[in-house]
A and B are shown apart, each in its own frame.
Chain A
Amino acid sequence: MNDQRPRLESLFAAAREQRVPAGIEQRLRERLALRAPRTRASRRRLVLAAAALVVLGGLVGAAVARWWRVEIDTREQRIEGGTLRELRRGRDGATQYELELPDGRRVTVEVPAPSNGERRIEVELPDSPPPRPDPATNQDPNPVPNPEEERR
């Protein structure tokens, strides 16, 4: 028996001490086409990216809305105290307007293309808006009954 030879237990210990090479796990994940689980850092990056996207979308949306309002305002015409806004003009010459009456009622009007130089427009007005307080007395025309005041 050779005393210089390692004992079996020391061979086991040497085998246990061998480190598993790094990278096997990642290569396996790629090979099996498995997505890496999200770490806390990657989740934070994802949330930040989503927040940035929302902010950017808001800014772009506000800019577009502002541009749109300016476009509409340039097409406004005042008629008999009301306002007529051009909403859309079709290729066939028909135009869609929004008519806002002085009392606040609004109605969308589709005006067809001129035929024989004549334009007939029929507008069906919406129901009257609820009565507003009298500006002179500031009293509600349909006051809610107050039992205490009635007793007095």
Chain B
Amino acid sequence: MPSHQESRPNEEGGSTRGDRRETELREWLAFRGATSERDALSQLFEDHRTALITFVFRRTGDAALTEDVVAETFLAAARARANLEWRGVPLRGWLLRIATNELRAQQRSRRDGEPLDELAAPDREPEVDVEALRRALATLPEEWQEAVTLHHLDATPVHEVARLLGAPEGTIKSWLSRARAALRGRLQLDGEEPMP
């Protein structure tokens, strides 16, 4: 996670980075200052439900699993609010990270997919569709999964992905490039590249 950054004008719009950070900080403070877990949950749900549901569903393609992961993400976030520290990352970025951890835990507990073994089997013609893409994506490092999901599966601009994940844009581009290469390799698509 990045440290605090100096405010400087945002060339893409009228607002400044400082304004945006102030807004994000206000959101954190409002969340931390929620008088009850119910209030905190309510705030998270109203502001971030669509983004969270989309983010998890794009990665799973499973409505029931999405529901479980998002519910547990919101509950975990609401319970953890008292110990939060502002680290310059938007609340949504923090929620995405919790969702990623929760998704990993749920997938482990369900043990319903060992896609890597299936896909890597040399004598098997791999199935190349969206499900195969998701299974291949699940084998990548989590930061890559998050970046690919946000950018390629949810059409989030790179600078916004960088803001949400708290990493420089160059790093995000690098993750995306390496993730694409890895996916091509997993799925045996054109321009096959080795895993990083």
Contact = CB atoms under 8 A, between A and B. Distances in A.
Interface in B150-196: 152-155, 180, 183-184, 187-190, 192
Given A32-B75, A34-B45, A11 B53 contact: no
Interface of chain B, helix or strand or loop or mixed? helix
A24 B67 contact: yes
B45 A8 contact: no
Contacts of B189: 5-8
A16 B45 contact: no
Interface string A3-23: 001111001101110101101
B5 to A, nearest CB: 30
Considering residues A7, A15, A16, A27, which has the most beta carbons from chain B within 10 angstroms of its beta carbon?
A: A15
A10 to B, nearest CB: 10
Interface residues of B, number: 36
Interface string A69-81: 0000000000000
A6 to B, nearest CB: 6
B42 A8 contact: no
Considering residues A7, A8, A18, A27, which has the most beta carbons from chain B within 10 angstroms of its beta carbon?
A: A8
Interface residues of A, number: 24
Contacts of A21: 57, 63
Contacts of B63: 20-21, 23-24
Contacts, number: 81
A32 B130 contact: no
B70 to A, nearest CB: 6
Nearest to B68: A31
Contact of A6 (B67, B74, B128, B154): B128
Interface string B103-140: 00000000000000000000000001110011000000
B183 A34 contact: no
B6 interface: no
Interface string B40-77: 01100110011001100110010100110011001100
Interface of A: 1, 5-8, 11-12, 14-16, 18, 20-21, 23-25, 27-29, 31-34, 37
